[in-house]
Amino acid sequence: MESAPRLTPRIKSSPPERKIESMPPNLEEFIPEDRLPYYIDVYDNDNGPGSKISRLVLPERPVYRHFGLSGLNLEIWTKFLERNPVRFVRRFPRPSPASIFDFDKGANGNDPKSTSGYPKIGQIDLRNHEYLGSGNHSYVALAPLTLPSTTDAPPVHGAVAVKLALFDEGELLMNEAKIYCAFPRELQEDRGFDLPSVVPKSYGYYQASHGAFESQSLVGEFTNYERKEICKVLQHVSTFLLIEHCGVQIDPLVGKEQEPVLSLFKRLHEANFVQGSPSPRNVVVQPGPLTVPKGERSLHKPSYRILDFGRGLSADFGIGRKHPEFLAERKEAEMKWAQERLSLNEYF
Ligand SMILES: Nc1ncnc2c1ncn2[C@@H]1O[C@H](COP(=O)(O)OP(=O)(O)OP(=O)(O)O)[C@@H](O)[C@H]1O
């Protein structure tokens, strides 16, 4: 008997291929909280001729449209950025007080690796990033993340999605960061046929701050006045969220293609989360299954993931916690929404 032709998912663009040769393979491993760095240095000083001010570190924000950039001393910022990375500090998952203490002991000079093996400073290199996508609120880039080795773990080097807030949408990104912190590990890790991963793994939410700048060893001479001006610009620099790169956007799905994606929404709801804006833009696909080595994966066995939790709800905090009945209502509505919006019929 002839077997039925297998349906491969519709996707918006061709499956991910490295456009930049030096880009490492995607980081796929789960990194426990105590291995995430306290600081991340972002290299972002090479934005092509004529544009020394990075769009990524300093996205266009309404504040500039209203007041222009004149209030900020961009000459000094440029001088700083040409020679130094921008240092960000981890906000979520919140570093534990003990690890901060331990970190500070090391940061004071003499202990490059902390005693508990806590990695101090990671690096993101945005100079050669690939554009992954953007929404109404964000710009998402693929860039290499490096974490130093610790006393009991090897270094980490892999490509991750860096989601930056555009305009003044930091609140959505912060909500998303909190949701990622609340996800249980089993939603992020692929555990085989019956329990595929539902959402990307996340590697923390980071913010540029005065304190992080003060802890940075700077290349070049900066006067006190210049330091103050740099701190003013830092207040406008976007926060960012690091997440696993999980493939390319799907196109609306037909018939049976919808089943695996709807079952991911079901698992998300069973774990007491709501995504908040289901649409084909917020579902990505890559060759699977993820449990086998990369060379053996194919789009005939697709691995889907749900993205974008800016408008997400969780039973762990906020309105989802205060009003469980509201959360239950949203889950029901979201399932109907997902059925309609992921379907090709919706578009005709
Ligand atoms: N982890 C990821 N892996 C692969 N692609 C991604 C990832 N995160 C984001 N993208 C791409 O970037 C696009 C924008 O991301 P996202 O939907 O999270 O942004 P947003 O600004 O919150 O969107 P919206 O306008 O729906 O609020 C996605 O549609 C997807 O194509």
Q: What is the 3-state secondary structure (H, E, C) of 172-217?
A: HHHHHHHHHHHCCHHHHCCCCCCCCCCCCCEEEEEEECHHHHHCCC
Query: Is residue 203 a contact partner of residue 32, using CB atoms and an 8 Å limit?
Result: no
Beta carbon of 133 within 6 Å of any ligand 1 atom? yes
Beta carbon of 282 within 6 Å of any ligand 1 atom? yes
- Token pair in block for residue 116: 């508990």
Sheet arrangement for strand 283-288: 248-249, 283-288, 298-306
3-state secondary structure of 81: helix
Q: Picking from 5-14, 160-169, 322-331, which range would have the lowest pLDDT averaged per residue?
A: 5-14
Query: Is residue 171 a contact partner of residue 239, using CB atoms and an 8 Å limit?
Result: no
Beta carbon of 314 within 6 Å of any ligand 1 atom? no
Q: What is the pLDDT of residue 70?
A: 56
Beta carbon of 165 within 6 Å of any ligand 1 atom? no
111, pLDDT greater than 80 = no
CA distances from 119 to 24, 104, 126, 274, 276 (A): 21, 12, 21, 33, 34
Query: Is residue 253 a contact partner of residue 10, using CB atoms and an 8 Å limit?
Result: yes
The pTM (predicted TM-score) of the whole model is: 0.89
Q: What is the pLDDT of residue 7?
A: 62
SS3 content of the chain, % helix, strand, coil (to 5): 30, 25, 45
Helix H or strand E segment including 259: helix 258-270
Q: What is the pLDDT of residue 187?
A: 98
> Which residue has its alpha carbon closest to ligand 1 atom 19?
135
3-state secondary structure of 285: strand
How do the domains of the chain map onto residue ranges? 33-243, 248-347
Beta carbon of 159 within 6 Å of any ligand 1 atom? no
> Which residue has its alpha carbon closest to ligand 1 atom 29?
281
- Token pair in block for residue 124: 């993101």
3-state secondary structure of 289: coil
281 CA distance to ligand 1 middle (Å): 7
80, pLDDT greater than 70 = yes
Phi, psi of 89 (to 5 degrees): -115, 145
Which of 19, 56, 138 gets mutated to test ligand 1 (max ligand atoms within 8 A of its CB)? 138
161 CA distance to ligand 1 middle (Å): 9
DSSP secondary structure letter of residue 33: G
Which residues are annotated binding-site positions?
163
Interface predicted TM-score (ipTM) over 0.95: yes
